[in-house]
Amino acid sequence: MKSVRAFAPGTVANLGPGFDVLGLAVTGVGDAVIAERGSDGEIRIRSSGHPEIPSEAERNSAGIAAARVRERAGKADVGFTLRVEKGLPLSGGQGGSAASAVAAAVAVNELLGSPFGKDELLPPCLEAETAVAGRHADNVAAALFGGVVLVRSLEPLDVVRLPFPRDLRIVLVQPRQRLRTEDARARLPRTVDLGIAVAQAAGVGALVAALAARDYDLLRRSVDDRIAEPARAPLLPGFAEAKSAALSAGALGCSISGSGPSSFAFAADEDSARRIGEAMVAAYRARGIEASARTGAIDGKGARIDGVEE
Amino acid sequence: MKSVRAFAPGTVANLGPGFDVLGLAVTGVGDAVIAERGSDGEIRIRSSGHPEIPSEAERNSAGIAAARVRERAGKADVGFTLRVEKGLPLSGGQGGSAASAVAAAVAVNELLGSPFGKDELLPPCLEAETAVAGRHADNVAAALFGGVVLVRSLEPLDVVRLPFPRDLRIVLVQPRQRLRTEDARARLPRTVDLGIAVAQAAGVGALVAALAARDYDLLRRSVDDRIAEPARAPLLPGFAEAKSAALSAGALGCSISGSGPSSFAFAADEDSARRIGEAMVAAYRARGIEASARTGAIDGKGARIDGVEE
């Protein structure tokens, strides 16, 4: 085949109390990578006009993932050109670096004759994510597998795919703010009180139970992050107001998406999701911050090939 | 009615990573309370020959629970005599104080004409447990409701009843050791590293998912306590060896039951449970510590009235 296009959805990581643990994929927007074999052994990035995305393959999550996949396949001498189509915002907290890495890994794997299944593509994607955004697997695993994932352990890498309600809606709101992942990480405490750790663990367990049982009352009570959100909310003007507006509008929980600045909310249906999105956008605007909302379901498929040119 | 007998099963609290969060009830042994109305307004305890159990009602978990239930019912002037039949070991880590409190609450509620459902009996039971064993609800909730419970929050009190596999077996091993709850609590760290908190939260989520999906491989990987077990295991000679023996014998996870000294293991079936129990007892004995094992399923019923004399 001449070229392969792979798509990976956007993701919400650090889901509620699930800091570094829980992630989910959202239908709709994502990143795509069109990969073709190069004439030499180089990996080259052709980006779609984002000047801030590094064009050096070794600094770009798509390039790193592609390099790791070809190494793993024992084909380190095969070169690729990767055209990265960014559907997701940069530094948005919607899993953009992870989606680019995952789409590149899936596309390059296909070009190499599909030596690997998705499970085997996870480690190279995690390496790419680690290089550009810190060592956490909740975005890459959700983008790759789809659905809701729980990262039980990074060492050894152990990702659990969780049951989830098909009708649950996700509201993603992107305020016109910048918050670099490094800055957001720098705000995290190094230690937490035992009581906080216990509450956070209980929240993760409750959220898993709520998704499995489709218990939306419990879901709303479980989206309660005692660690990352309190540390980061002060960096995100308008978030507190948007969260309050979301809950008043009937959201089944609201928190920061990834390390921000995007925020997310759960909703019981599409109408409610739209209302919640409008209320959140209005709350940001009332603070003088432009914002936009989108709604989607949980993307149960994850990354997929969506075009092959022979 | 003249007297009521209520039974409450033994429980494993601090289940794996679920310190203060996860508990389950075990079929078989438990505590029973036979309550009858007194001739005056006093609550009197008649214990079954354990000199270490306080006979003052206000220092005995059954007496405290009974007092709280009658207050809540607006009948603080009604007295009771409570005969406590201890099936569970004292300071064993098998939820003895909780089972006595729960059995007393259920019996007294019945004698008062059942003004309360189980949900409403939980707060008085928690108050009783708090007075004698520290503020944690994982034993009382499991003893009261049966099954597997997740304490999402103490304030407000929010307990989630989790799905669980009916065929899972629990091995409970009681070494002839004493470890007071207060001493075990004193060993706990006041703060934990962020990475430990994240791992513990992931473990709780994974354990909930494993029980819901009957995924025994995941269950075994999830019984991994990074907070309480490392702090307490040094106080419990023989535990490390018993755990190692349990895992070698095929246990689906092994940890300390409650705050010890009992240890527990999960097993896939009764034969395996018996083998694991024997291996654990042998490991304690090899360290010069007498021990005994019992096996059971998860008790899905919880506390119940099992005798009424009119």
In chain B, where the domains are located: 3-163, 169-297
pLDDT at B47 over 80: no
Note down pLDDT in tens along chain A; length 310 residues. Answer: 789 999 999 999 999 999 999 999 999 999 999 999 998 999 999 876 677 778 888 899 999 999 999 999 999 999 999 999 999 988 889 999 999 999 999 999 999 999 999 999 999 999 999 999 999 999 999 999 999 999 999 999 999 999 999 999 999 999 999 887 778 888 999 999 999 999 999 999 999 999 999 999 999 999 999 999 999 999 999 999 999 999 999 999 999 999 999 999 999 999 999 999 999 999 999 999 999 999 999 999 999 999 888 8
Alpha-carbon distance of B24 to B13, in angstroms, equals 7
Q: Is pLDDT larger for residue A51 or for residue B295?
A: B295
Candidates B129, B155, B241, B270; catalytic one? B129
**Rounded Cα gap, residues A147 and A150, in angstroms:** 10
Nearest to B221 among A158, A191, A205 (CB): A158
Number of Cβ within 10 Å of residue A277's Cβ equals: 24
Closest-CA residue of B relative to A208 is B205
The residue from A129, A130, A182, A278 that is catalytic is: A129
What pLDDT is recorded for position A228?
Answer: 96
**Local confidence band at B170 (pLDDT 50, 70, 90 cut-offs):** very high
The predicted structure's pLDDT at residue A74: 96
Q: Report the CATH architecture of B3-163.
A: 2-Layer Sandwich (3.30)
Which pTM value belongs to this model? 0.96
Q: Which residues of B touch A163 (CB under 8 A)?
A: 212-213
CA distance B215 to chain A (A): 11
CB A10 within 8 A of CB A96: yes
The pLDDT value recorded for residue A48 is 67
Is A169-297 a CATH 3.40.1190.20 domain?
Answer: no
> Are A202 and B205 an interchain contact pair (Cβ–Cβ within 8 Å)?
no
Q: pLDDT at position A91, please?
A: 82
Exposure class string for B147-167: b at 16+ Cβ within 10 A, else e? bbbbbbbbeeebbbbbebbee
Contacts of B198 in chain A (CB under 8 A): 19-21
- What integer pLDDT is reported at residue A39 of this predicted model? 86
**Alpha helices (H) along B146-215:** 181-186, 194-213
ipTM associated with this complex:
0.96
Structure-token pair, residue B71: 């207050």
Q: A9 - beta bridge partners?
A: A30
pLDDT at A183: 82
B129 among known catalytic residues: yes
Which residue on chain A is closest to B207 by alpha carbon? A205
Q: A239-248 and A270-286 helices cross at what angle (nearest 10)?
A: 150
* Å between B225 CA and nearest CA of chain A: 11
Residue of A85, A120, A181, A241 marked catalytic: A181
Extract the tokens encoding A216. 């939306």
β-pairing, A43-47 vs A80-85, is: parallel
Contacts of B184 in chain A (CB under 8 A): none
**Whole-number pLDDT of residue A182:** 76
Q: Is A241 a catalytic residue?
A: no
